[in-house]
């Protein structure tokens, strides 16, 4: 995941997943010409668990997000991922800024090199790491996800493991202004595998989603637009059967209704007067 910067991985592997015990596939070129290596999903999932378990042992909190986080949290729906021919190239984590120094030390002990310039340039909001032998790239975001919109994470990372809470995992996809198909697929997977309810017990916490959108008009605008896009696109996916398409449609409809019903803050109502006449999102280089 890249924001105001790009991955610094380069070179070419030239090997296929079936020839490489680490599961590396073809190089993937990013939107600004950077090179990453597509890696077998199982390899990245195992690496996530290795890092989270090491953090647990050190008394630190680190949680995965992004498409790997979605795959890890969608135990049943993940079975349809191969039909969408998804590729994976890196891992995105969230942690607390107060533990940033310890996170750098932990990952260094696991073979990762820290690009200190990124941490300084982002004013402590983000770190990036690369593992030279495994050729795995990590992004770590501290205290909040700040992409097209801001999603706060303080006090929330303990609610789930190994991923960030499902409500924030879903919002991290729905907040993407220029949403693409891989993000829509991730949203579909989350809606198929999780009930809409209150709380974080393997459910999408509607209270959390509703309150965040009710306090931020821009987030509400993008999220509700994307919910409608998901409904439309999911209905056309041949990879889904009729029951799955119906379930996604019902969940998306219920989600939007709950978001719209949440009482809006004064700031939301003031911004609503301006509406679409002013840009309501932050432009970013790329959001996975």
Binning pLDDT at 50, 70 and 90, where does residue 279 land? Answer: very high
Q: What pLDDT score was predicted for residue 1?
A: 41
This prediction has a pTM of: 0.85
DSSP codes joined into one string, 183-245: HHHHHHHHHHH-EEESSSSSEEEHHHHHHHHHT-HHHHHHHHHHHHHHHHHHTT-TTS-HHHH
- Given a cut of 80, whether residue 5 has pLDDT beyond it is no
Handedness of CA 245, 63, 262, 288 (dihedral sign): negative
Q: What pLDDT score was predicted for residue 239?
A: 93
Q: What pLDDT score was predicted for residue 32?
A: 32
Per-residue pLDDT tens for 72-91? Answer: 999 899 889 999 888 888 99
Per-residue pLDDT tens for 190-219? Answer: 999 999 999 999 999 999 999 999 999 999
Q: What pLDDT score was predicted for residue 285?
A: 66
Per-residue pLDDT tens for 120-130? Answer: 998 889 999 99
Average pLDDT, the chain: 87
Per-residue pLDDT tens for 212-245? Answer: 999 999 999 999 999 999 999 999 999 999 999 9
Peptide bond into 234 cis (omega under 30): no
Query: How do the domains of the chain map onto residue ranges?
Result: 17-274
- In this structure, are residues 148 and 182 in contact, taking their beta carbons and an 8 Å threshold? no
Q: Percentage of the chain with pLDDT > 70?
A: 85
Taking the C-alpha atoms of residue 256 and residue 166, their distance in angstroms, rounded to an integer, is 16
Per-residue pLDDT tens for 129-142? Answer: 999 998 899 999 99
Q: What pLDDT score was predicted for residue 34?
A: 40
- In this structure, are residues 71 and 81 in contact, taking their beta carbons and an 8 Å threshold? yes
Taking the C-alpha atoms of residue 18 and residue 24, their distance in angstroms, rounded to an integer, is 8
What's the whole-number mean pLDDT along residues 157-164?
97
Taking the C-alpha atoms of residue 199 and residue 151, their distance in angstroms, rounded to an integer, is 17
Taking the C-alpha atoms of residue 262 and residue 210, their distance in angstroms, rounded to an integer, is 6
- In this structure, are residues 193 and 203 in contact, taking their beta carbons and an 8 Å threshold? no
Q: What pLDDT score was predicted for residue 88?
A: 87
Q: What pLDDT score was predicted for residue 14?
A: 31
């Amino acid at each position: 995941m890249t924001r105001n910067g790009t991955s610094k991985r380069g070179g070419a592997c030239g090997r296929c997943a079936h020839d490489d015990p680490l599961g590396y596939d073809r190089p993937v070129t990013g939107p600004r010409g950077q090179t990453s290596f597509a890696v077998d999903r199982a390899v990245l999932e195992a690496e996530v668990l290795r890092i989270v378990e090491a953090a647990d042992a050190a008394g630190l909190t680190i949680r995965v997000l992004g498409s790997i986080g979605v795959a890890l949290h969608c135990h049943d729906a993940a079975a349809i991922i191969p039909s969408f021919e998804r590729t994976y190239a890196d891992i995105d984590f969230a942690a607390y800024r107060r533990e940033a120094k310890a996170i750098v030390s932990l990952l260094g002990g696991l073979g990762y090199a820290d690009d200190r310039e990124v941490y300084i340039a982002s004013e402590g909001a983000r770190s990036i790491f690369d593992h030279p032998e495994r050729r795995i790239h990590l992004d770590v975001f501290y205290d909040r996800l700040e992409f097209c919109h801001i999603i706060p994470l303080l006090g929330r990372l303990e609610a789930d493991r190994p991923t960030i809470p499902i409500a924030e995992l879903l919002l991290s996809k729905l907040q993407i202004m220029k949403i693409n198909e891989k993000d829509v697929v991730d949203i579909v997977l989350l809606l198929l595998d999780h009930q809409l309810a209150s709380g974080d017990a393997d459910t999408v916490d509607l209270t959390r989603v509703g309150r965040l959108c009710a306090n931020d008009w821009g987030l509400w605008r993008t999220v509700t637009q994307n919910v409608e896009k998901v409904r439309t696109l999911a209905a056309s996916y041949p990879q889904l059967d009729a029951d799955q398409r119906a379930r996604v449609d019902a969940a998306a409809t219920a989600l939007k209704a709950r978001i719209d019903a949440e009482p809006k803050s004064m700031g939301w109502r003031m911004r609503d007067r301006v509406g679409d006449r002013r840009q309501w999102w932050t432009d970013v280089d790329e959001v996975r």
